[in-house]
Chain A
Amino acid sequence: MTRYVMIADLNRCVGCQTCTAACKHTNATAPGVMWRKVIDVEWGEYPDVERLFMPVGCQHCSDPPCMHVCPSTATGQREDGIVTIDYDLCIGCSYCVVACPYQARYKVDKPHFAYGDTPTETEAKRYDEKRIGVAQKCTFCSDRVDAGVEKGLTPGVDPDASPGCVNACIADALHFGDIEDENSNVSELLAENSWFQMHEELGTETGFYYLWDQEPPEETESE
């Protein structure tokens, strides 16, 4: 079978936010909504200070808390692990938002655009009424992936079958592929590098891996 995952190589990420921009361009998300974003993390005290850039978003968990709590079954999961939202079923209760430990979900209650109430020409063309008042999040660009697979392309290898953020990454820090294929790009990367999954202790079994080579900071909390 197939299990799609994403890998973010924190040793490579430069925090340029090109993936953020590519995601917004691909999915036409509203201002303030970032299905993919890169957080700038610092810890320690001078002169022992560390900094890293961490791409975040929906982790497409194998055991997603958002899906279990959803009262309308709007949040679902495909057999390939991609967590989905059916905008026609969602009631916009936001239970999934508070159940997600990755701050990956958004809800936009009324239309708003980059320059106030009036959309630009592009925004007007790409505005999707179905997304108002319901939960939304990263889809792993499942429509691109599906279309690519139909054409016989390999997700994560062929750009036409890969998520927009992965295609746009300037540092080759984002990767996408099938982890159940032992010879895939993502399987090889994980076999050859040290990695972690975020909030592993919560048992969500994320479909998002971070390559990193330093032990985590202890007792650090920053806002």
Chain B
Amino acid sequence: MNRFFAIRQTCWDWRAAGNFMFGGTGSALMLMIAIASYPDTPSLPLGLVALAFIGLGLFMVWLEIGKPWRFLHVYFHPQTSWMTREASVAALLFPIAFVGVIFKIPLLITLAGLLGLLFLYCQARILLASKGIPSWRESTTLPLIISTGLVEGTSLLLLSYIFSDSIQGWAIYLLLVLLAVRGQSWIKYRQQLTTAKAPKQTLSVLNSINTLVLWPGNILPFILVGTCLLLSNFTNIFITIASVLAILSGWHMKFTIITRAAQQQGYSVGKLKRGRPVIKPPVKRKPERFVL
């Protein structure tokens, strides 16, 4: 493979990264509180915290766009745009979750939890569709973004339990599993980028955060949570440290992937061909269909 001038994209900066950091955490928290409270409804503050995180992420994106007062145009292209789909899910999620927690309607909370998961999925697909950035478009981005969101949501749920002194054992088991999945996803993600010959600078940036993501971000929280389970002692301090580490490392990883490990495809000399090419007609000659 040959590649020239693969410079880092600068259009999506800390503001765009904020959407993936806080939106991912908030949407996963919405899912987790829906599971935790089933068949009842969660406390109002917890529901509002989840919505606040998602809202903060979307607000940061709003700060980034060039024409903020045209934001409603974001809904114009559900046929193929994952950004439209993410915004549409958010538009449903907010009123449903809000009404659900205010009026204590379990069905709406369940629906809000599912929408939270869908929001997280849309975020991962936004990155996957970015063909210009080799470190975003690989298939392993999907499990990495989803698993890290779920780790953050579960960790935040556990932190809320500590404040209310009502830890639920299943959430600790779930965090343990999710930490293992996220660690594995991170390893596979880096392997795939190496195999796909991602830009050297991208690999170098990811390599520079590898120790931090793996050890204090995944393995240490895993050990702390595992120790709690082995000792059947849900020591608050261990859970608190593990949760905070898991959240901060997820945010750090996503921030790095969006802003620093985001070298573009670059230019290249392709494989030579001879003869008149087989011409694929422009896709717009066919009516636009809904494409997943």
Contact = CB atoms under 8 A, between A and B. Distances in A.
A90 B71 CA distance: 9
Contacts of A195: 272-274, 277
Contacts of B1: 218-220
Contacts of B271: 196, 200, 216
Interface in B177-213: 199-201
Interface residues of B, number: 63
A80 to B, nearest CB: 7
A205 B281 CA distance: 9
Interface string A148-187: 0000000000000000000000000000000110100001
Contact of B131 (A76, A101, A222): A101
Interface of B: 1-7, 9, 11-12, 16, 61, 64-68, 70-71, 73-77, 80-84, 87, 126, 129-133, 136, 199-201, 262, 264-277, 279-285, 291
Contact of A3 (B68, B126, B279): B279
Given A56-B267, A103-B7, A91 B2 contact: no
A76 B285 CA distance: 11
Interface stretch (A18-26, A62-70, A117-125): A62-70
A217 B269 contact: yes
Contact of B11 (A54, A70, A98): A98
A72 B272 contact: no
A193 B266 CA distance: 25
A114 B11 CA distance: 22
Nearest to A106: B11
A70 B71 CA distance: 13
A132 interface: yes
A221 B133 CA distance: 16
Given A103-B265, A216-B270, A133 B131 contact: no
Interface in A38-62: 39, 41, 43, 52, 54, 56, 62
Nearest to A216: B269
Interface string A206-221: 0001101111111111
B284 A79 contact: yes
A73 B2 contact: no
B73 A69 contact: no
| Among B133, B270, B285, residue most surrounded by chain A Cβ atoms (within 10 Å) | B270
Contacts, number: 224
A198 B165 CA distance: 59
A209 B277 contact: yes
A97 B9 contact: yes
A13 interface: no
Contacts of B84: 71
Contact of A91 (B66, B270, B281): B66
A97 B282 contact: no
Contact of A63 (B83, B273, B276, B280): B280
Contact of B269 (A90, A134, A204, A212): A212
Interface residues on A, range: 35 or more
A14 B276 CA distance: 25
B76 A89 contact: yes
Given A62-B280, A62-B283, A98-B264, 20 more contacts: A54-B267, A62-B279, A69-B80, A69-B129, A71-B81, A72-B77, A76-B284, A78-B284, A90-B70, A93-B66, A100-B132, A190-B277, A193-B274, A195-B277, A200-B270, A212-B272, A214-B272, A216-B2, A221-B3, A223-B4
B196 to A, nearest CB: 10
A94 to B, nearest CB: 4
B272 A79 contact: no
Contacts of A218: 1-2
A98 B74 contact: no
Contacts of B279: 3, 62, 179-180
A90 B273 contact: no
Contact of A93 (B65, B133, B265): B65
A14 to B, nearest CB: 17
A97 B73 contact: no
A71 B132 contact: no
Contacts of B265: 101-103, 199, 202
A180 B281 CA distance: 9
B129 A196 contact: no
Nearest to A76: B284
B67 A92 contact: yes
A74 interface: yes
B272 A196 contact: yes
Contacts of A132: 66
